[in-house]
Each structure stands twice: as structure tokens, then as C-alpha cells.
């Protein structure tokens, strides 16, 4: 990551801008949603490797700022949605794509399956992912 930031800085023009856009683990909310209603079914579990990745990324960006590589200009948190047509599709996706950094406990799994099975015909499963966006400006150090 530090090497990546060094490389990004190298290829940016003076005063170039780096946009860092990434998810942050925060026990993401799971809902079953339809046009008529939203039913909260639980929260996902944050797994240690994912938490460690978040912490490492935060630390690396902080270090880059302290070393005078980049200056943080603005930052915001927002949420974006992932939607699946069924609870089983969500579970399959988790297993294939997210299993290293999030977990689904039995209570949330069962609540989501039940809410989806008993829900309206247009019911979908939604996970709201917490996102961080930061604008960084390349700075020139006195050594350059």
C-alpha cells in the first residue's frame, strides 16, 4: 500500500488529485425491501482480516499525509446498496466474494430468509455498505 501511494504520487502531476473511494466495515445493515416496505433483518459481522485491512489502509493514508506526500482536502462518509433478488443469492455472493472480511450469523441468516420468503413478490435483499471518499492533493516536499 505504501508502495502504491508512492507510485501514485510519482505519476500524478504537481497539484494532482487522488480520490480514495473504499468500503469501511461497520456491521453493515441487512434489509428485505420491496416497494411497500423495508424490514430490517440484522447486521453482518466484521471479520478480523477485514478490520485489519481497514486499519492498515487508514494508517497508510495517515502516514502519507504526515510524510508530506498528500494533503487531505475533504472527506465524507456515505452508504451505497447491494441488492439481490433472493436471500440464497445474497448468501452465495457472500460465500464467493466476501467471506474473508464479513460474516453472516445464523440469526441474521434465518431472519433474512424468513422475511424474504414471507415478503412481497418484489422483495429483494439489501446490504447497505458504508463508504469513505477522500480527496487528497499531491504536495511537493522540500526535498524535491
Q: Establish if 47 lies at the interface with other proteins (CB under 8 A).
A: no
82 is a site residue for other proteins (CB under 8 A) = yes
Q: Which of residues 108-127 bind other proteins (CB under 8 A)?
A: none
- Number of CB atoms found within 10 A of residue 139's CB: 16
Give the separation between CA 39 and CA 59, rounded to whole angstroms: 36
Total residues binding other proteins (CB under 8 A): 38
Residues 28 and 87: their CA atoms lie apart, in Å, by 16
Considering beta carbons, is residue 19 or 36 the nearer one to other proteins? 19
| CA dist., res. 31 & res. 111, Å (int) | 10
Nearer to other proteins, 92 or 107 (CB): 92
Asked if 132 and 31 touch (Cβ cutoff 8 Å), the reply is: no
- Shortest approach of other proteins to residue 133 CB, angstroms? 5
**Residue of 1, 62, 117, 140 that binds other proteins (CB under 8 A):** 1
Q: How far apart are CA 97 and CA 25, in angstroms?
A: 15
Closest C-alpha among 13, 11, 134 to residue 65? 134
Residue 95 makes contact with other proteins by CB under 8 A: no
Angle of helix 48-66 versus helix 2-11 axis, rounded to 10 = 40
Of residues 27, 71, 85, 140, which one binds other proteins by CB under 8 A?
Answer: 85
Task: Indicate whether 91 belongs to the interface with other proteins (CB under 8 A).
Answer: no
Positions touching other proteins (CB under 8 A) are 1, 3-4, 7-8, 10-14, 16-23, 53-54, 56-57, 74, 76, 78-85, 89, 92-93, 131, 133, 135
Amino acid at each position: 500500500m505504501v508502495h502504491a501511494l508512492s507510485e501514485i504520487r510519482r505519476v500524478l502531476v504537481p497539484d494532482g488529485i487522488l480520490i480514495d473511494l473504499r468500503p469501511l466495515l461497520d456491521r453493515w445493515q441487512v434489509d428485505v425491501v420491496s416497494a411497500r416496505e423495508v424490514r430490517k433483518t440484522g447486521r453482518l459481522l466484521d471479520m478480523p482480516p477485514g478490520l485489519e485491512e481497514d486499519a492498515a489502509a487508514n494508517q497508510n493514508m495517515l502516514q502519507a499525509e504526515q510524510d508530506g506526500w498528500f494533503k487531505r482536502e475533504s472527506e465524507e462518509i456515505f452508504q451505497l446498496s447491494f441488492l439481490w433478488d433472493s436471500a440464497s443469492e445474497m448468501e452465495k455472493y457472500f460465500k464467493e466474494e466476501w467471506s474473508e472480511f464479513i460474516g453472516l450469523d445464523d440469526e441474521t441468516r434465518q431472519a433474512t430468509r424468513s422475511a424474504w420468503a414471507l415478503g412481497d413478490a418484489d422483495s429483494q435483499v439489501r446490504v447497505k455498505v458504508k463508504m469513505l471518499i477522500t480527496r487528497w492533493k499531491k504536495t511537493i516536499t522540500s526535498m524535491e
